[in-house]
Amino acid sequence: MKKVILMICLAFAFSQTSNAQIDFGLKGGINYNNNGDATFSSTGSDVIKGGESRSGYHAGLWFRGKLPLIGLYIRPELVFTQVKNEYTDQNDATSEYEYKKLDVPVLLGKKFLGVANVFIGPSFQYIIEDDFSFSGLTTDEFDKFSVGLQMGAGIELGRIGIDVRWERGLSKTEANFANVTVDNRTDQIIFGLSLKL
């Protein structure tokens, strides 16, 4: 069912841009996953301290088409993301693990003041690899597919774009292993740089 919803959203996105001029390009940046407590304040503090324990990265492609009747644009993206997360065991010891996923945000946005924009939309995610292990257990019990929400703002100066986003996982992707609870839902701040081709 979730895959059907993803296909419908993507079909809608591309059908809306089929008769319009489509911009496209490359993007990449840094992610700061704060494991359920991501705020701009906490992320700023984490960045100052180095942010190594929670930092990740992303890289991919973006497309954008205007929706002339309502004055907005739609921006589907295809992004590879590496994120770090952590879990706490029954002894309150914290361990980190890393996972890689494919993200497909489908963002609805509005440009203003010539260079600025704001946007919001769902992000469909699929975990393709992780290094989680605990007493021989793996994350096979997780639902690898999940849905999140992204919102943010940015500026564009010529072909270069800079944006900052907040992303929160909406799907329940929690798994329990022998008194260990692991939740793969992202709660992160994303700093991105894009280039229009």
Tens digits of per-residue pLDDT, 159-187? 999 999 999 888 765 555 555 555 656 78
Q: Are 34 and 54 in contact (CB under 8 A)?
A: yes
Which tokens belong to 66? 């205007």
Q: What is the mean pLDDT of residues 154-160?
A: 95
What's the CA gap between 23 and 97, in Å, rounded? 36
The confidence band for 8, taking pLDDT boundaries of 50, 70 and 90, is low
Q: What is the mean pLDDT of residues 145-160?
A: 93
Q: Which of 70-74, 103-107, 124-128, 183-187 has the lowest mean pLDDT?
A: 183-187
Buried residues in 89-117 as b, exposed as e (16+ CB within 10 A): beeeeeeebebebebbbbbbbebeeeeeb
pLDDT attached to residue 3: 56
**Which residues 6+ apart lie within 8 Å of 41 measured at CB?**
none
What's the CA gap between 119 and 184, in Å, rounded? 24
Average pLDDT across the chain, whole number: 76
Q: What is the pLDDT of residues 55-88, one digit of tens each?
A: 789 999 999 998 877 889 999 999 999 887 766 6
- pLDDT higher at 38 or 13: 13
pTM: 0.73
Q: Counting every residue, how long is the chain?
A: 197
The residue behind tokens 């703002």 is 153
- In the chain, what percentage of residues exceed pLDDT 90? 38
pLDDT attached to residue 129: 80
